[in-house]
Structure 1
């Protein structure tokens, strides 16, 4: 499913479930989280914010995608739209134990 298809699906007013139970689009979740972060800073300076966001977002993203692809790195990289070598580099960078993810699959 493309991003456009997902956006259309979650914002479709004719969906059966109540609006309160519909998943928020990812963009809205990110916007809310970033706004909350800056409001809690209360004017204090911050730096390297982009790196901090990536360090928070990438690990769960990779873990979920690996579970969805049953630990298949080639399929996970394809799903993410990145090179398999880049995926392996990122898994090592974030110290993600992909073998443990595979072992814990149902």
Structure 2
């Protein structure tokens, strides 16, 4: 086939053939990133008169108690106890207690 600069070339197509592009593309707008502006939640220790009756003292630790299968530290601050968040290992609860006790000495 000889094509010159002045000749017209036409491209034919079959009307029965339809090429659908991007059929599987999701037409909904993109979702934003989740929790991108999430507030930081800080733990505020609970103040209690004493450890609960159903808590079991863990041997070998000064401030650690077993409470519902988790380890919790109770630190005596003045006339009340500060309760830690729950931990899965007693060492972590004891470290929290030591840190809380040291921070309490600095504040007073």
TM-score (norm 2): 0.23
More helix as a share of residues: 1
Q: Which has the larger radius of gyration?
A: 2
Give the TM-score taking structure 1 as reference length.
0.23
Structure number with higher strand proportion: 2
